[in-house]
Amino acid sequence: MSSTTDPARVTVVGLGPMGQAMARALMAAGHQVTVWNRTPRRADALVAEGATLAATPAAAVAGSDLVILSLTDYPAMYDILDPVVRDGSALAGKVLANLSSDTPDVTREAAQWAAKHGAAFLTGGIMVPAPAVGQPGAYVFYSGQKDVFDRHEPVLKVIGEPKYLGADPGLAQLFYQAHLDVFLTALSSLLHATALVTAAGVPAADFLPGALDTLTGIPAMIGDGLELAGELEAGEHPGDLSTARMMGATADHIVRTSQQAGIDLELPKAVKSHYDKAIAAGHGTSNWTALYEVVKASG
Ligand SMILES: NC(=O)c1ccc[n+]([C@@H]2O[C@H](COP(=O)([O-])OP(=O)(O)OC[C@H]3O[C@@H](n4cnc5c(N)ncnc54)[C@H](OP(=O)(O)O)[C@@H]3O)[C@@H](O)[C@H]2O)c1
């Protein structure tokens, strides 16, 4: 993926694996990159490759109109930028593109905080691991002011294909968390299932390739998701091919097998609880998709 824009000045604040990958991709596309990180030595390799290390967060912000933040969470942004805004109008006219994880509400508050200090705010959620940044297939959710996004899209494109979701700053974060809900749960299930077989003395290598087939077989069962989306929205859960009662029995067997193996029970118990609630609510002969009715009501 390469930039179609003139070289721009871009600041990257936060140099974990993700911030470093972004800075590198931006430099490779010809942009002038200023970096800052709480732990300065994390900038060493980037500086050797041509980045400018700002001595302070204020200097980092002053270095570019577009400031990309790649931090563990949003409190880290305030830790870094609160001292900067105490100096007056340092953020005025800047665009903060925060590609860090947090909740949608925290993100909305941050957009208001930025506006109070004269800065525009874009929320981003990057959907690939650090080594894939700037590579084909990389994509990033964005939300926030459309004209601000449009102005900076040619530069942001370098990181990954932008998917603009709308003006609500919380929207990109909502999509990020929803995707990570799928991702993190799947990763935990892979490790849990591996622990189940290794507790029985089976080597992980005998199990994991097949487990990945199970994981990637899910799209074959569900299709592109649009039919499922229609059924969920219509509240239709035909149990012709499988039922919540049948799958709930298996969910219980997984809990008991895990108990016998002496491994952690929280994840299979959480899954079983969805089936128990669906069956108790009268959805036993409906499809597994009926779990949606109890999951969405639980909050
Ligand atoms: N890594 C990935 O593959 C990946 C993939 C998709 C999305 N993301 C998202 O990208 C963001 C960054 O990820 P990462 O892997 O680079 O994370 P990381 O290794 O945890 O780095 C986080 C950065 O935040 C800084 N930081 C944390 N708390 C701070 C504070 N209170 N004050 C100042 N700086 C603070 C760290 O500074 P120090 O160096 O001084 O500790 C570091 O630069 C996260 O929100 C993550 O969810 C990451």
Shortest-distance Cα residue to atom 43 of ligand 1: 14
User: How confident is the model over 9-45, as pLDDT tens digits?
Assistant: 999 999 999 999 999 999 999 999 999 999 999 999 9
What average pLDDT does the structure give for the chain?
96
Chain centre to alpha carbon of residue 206: 31
Structure-block tokens of residue 136: 């084909």
Instruction: Name which of 85, 30, 46, 39 is nearest 62 in CA terms.
Output: 85
Given a contact cutoff of 8 angstroms between Cβ atoms, the answer to whether 217 and 261 are in contact is no
Q: Say whether pLDDT at 131 is over 50.
A: yes
User: How confident is the model over 72-124, as pLDDT tens digits?
Assistant: 999 999 999 999 998 778 999 999 999 999 999 999 999 999 999 999 999 99
User: How confident is the model over 176-211, as pLDDT tens digits?
Assistant: 999 999 999 999 999 999 999 999 999 999 999 999
Question: If you average pLDDT over residues 129-144, what whole number do you get?
Answer: 98
18 lines ligand 1 (CB under 6 A): yes
* C-alpha distances in Å from residue 266, one per residue of 180, 200, 245, 254, 263: 19, 19, 21, 11, 10
Question: What 3-state class would DSSP assign to 282?
Answer: helix
Question: If you average pLDDT over residues 244-265, what whole number do you get?
Answer: 98
Distance, CA 147 to ligand 1 centroid (Å)? Answer: 28
Is-above-0.85 flag for pTM?
yes
51 lines ligand 1 (CB under 6 A): no
17 lines ligand 1 (CB under 6 A): yes
Other C-beta atoms within 10 Å of 73: how many? 13
Given a contact cutoff of 8 angstroms between Cβ atoms, the answer to whether 57 and 63 are in contact is no
Any long-range contacts for 278-282 (C-beta under 8 Å, 24+ apart)?
A: 278/244, 278/248, 279/244, 279/245, 279/248
Q: Say whether pLDDT at 6 is over 90.
A: no
